[in-house]
Amino acid sequence: MTLLFLLGALALTFALAALFARLFATPLAPYPRRSRRTLTLAAASGIVGALVWGAALQGSLGWDAPGPAVRLAAAMGLSAAAVLVSVMQAPSPARLRFGLGVVATGLAPMLVLMGLFHREIADWSRPVPWVLAGFGTVLSVWAVLEMLKSKDLRAGRRPQAAERVLWAAMTALTGLLAALWMLWPWGIGTALWPFADRVGANVLAGAGMLALFMMGWMARNRIELGRPAALGHAVFGASGLGALTFGMVQGAPLPLALTVALGAATALGLWRALRA
């Protein structure tokens, strides 16, 4: 990934963030400036990341990850962008907090895992790791700070019992897989492990499952969060399955547990998103 290409990606990110800020200026006007900047910049970063990582460009993640892992990162970026655009279109205090939670849980665990366990895997002589680490740190810190300032919004109208059961089942599955892939380094080679690349499993698949867990956990008790959470599940699930299928066509093995989780996320997300 050349320096010129990286600069172009950064320029596109800031241009998209400015476009989002203009498009959603009216609905976002009542909310703090840093919250608005976090959402617009994170949504723009997700779209640009999806474009770059979807092409599985060598070194675009800061290390030489296998193609399916890179494309899973693209699915994560696209999912986050879909959720954040949905939040910015029709914001509320609960939805704003939800969007900030998506940013925080999608980025902070990856940064912590890379910093604690995988620093040596990145090529720090190139600008890509520094740019990704810088962007991720700023956005995750902003998101956490804004979440801490927001009101306690746990009370709210709850979904129907059937929907709560489905969200609970999904959070149980994604929470278990997130814990396994982020904390269990001895699973390589088993049916539960998503990639042969340990870094991709810890940092990408694990963080992706954690983000889905957070979305389902928040949506299960507040009906207004159901649609953005459903969009996040449907987009991540469908695009993630597409990434795994493309990898299988190219000769990569199909990871069973990750495929099941993404299929379940797609089904639940589509079911909830298509409801009135």
Q: What pLDDT, in 10s, does the model give residues 233-243?
A: 999 999 999 99
Single pTM value for the model: 0.91
The per-residue pLDDT for range 35-78, each reduced to its tens digit, is 999 999 999 999 999 999 888 777 788 777 778 888 999 999 99
| Rounded CA separation 111/96 (Å) | 23
- The answer to whether residues 69 and 206 touch, using CB atoms and an 8 Å cutoff, is no
Using a pLDDT cut of 90, give the percent of the chain over it.
54
Using a pLDDT cut of 70, give the percent of the chain over it.
93
Query: Which pLDDT score is estimated for 188?
Result: 60
Query: Which pLDDT score is estimated for 267?
Result: 96
| Rounded CA separation 107/208 (Å) | 10
| Rounded CA separation 253/245 (Å) | 9
Both tokens of 198, joined, read 């340990």
Does 261 score more than 90 pLDDT? yes
Does 276 score more than 60 pLDDT? no
Query: Which pLDDT score is estimated for 172?
Result: 96
| Rounded CA separation 110/78 (Å) | 17
3-state secondary structure of 110: helix
Instruction: Provide mean pLDDT across the span 263-276.
Output: 90
| Rounded CA separation 81/73 (Å) | 12
Residue 19: pLDDT band with limits 50, 70, 90 = very high
Query: Which pLDDT score is estimated for 234?
Result: 96
Average pLDDT score over the chain:
88
* Weakest mean pLDDT among 8-12, 115-119, 173-177, 180-184: 115-119
Residue 264 CA: distances (Å) to CA of 28, 110, 216, 222, 225: 32, 23, 12, 21, 19
SS3 readout for 171-228: HHHHHHHHHHHHHCHHHCCCCCCCCCCHHHHHHHHHHHHHHHHHHHHHHCCCHHHHHH
Instruction: Provide mean pLDDT across the span 101-120.
Output: 84
- Residues 6 or more apart whose Cβ sits within 8 Å of residue 27: 88, 89, 90, 91
Better pLDDT: 177 or 58: 177
Query: Which pLDDT score is estimated for 187?
Result: 58
Both tokens of 134, joined, read 């810088």
Does 33 score more than 80 pLDDT? yes
Instruction: Provide mean pLDDT across the span 178-192.
Output: 71
The per-residue pLDDT for range 132-163, each reduced to its tens digit, is 889 899 999 999 999 888 776 556 788 899 99
| Rounded CA separation 141/41 (Å) | 13
Better pLDDT: 122 or 86: 86
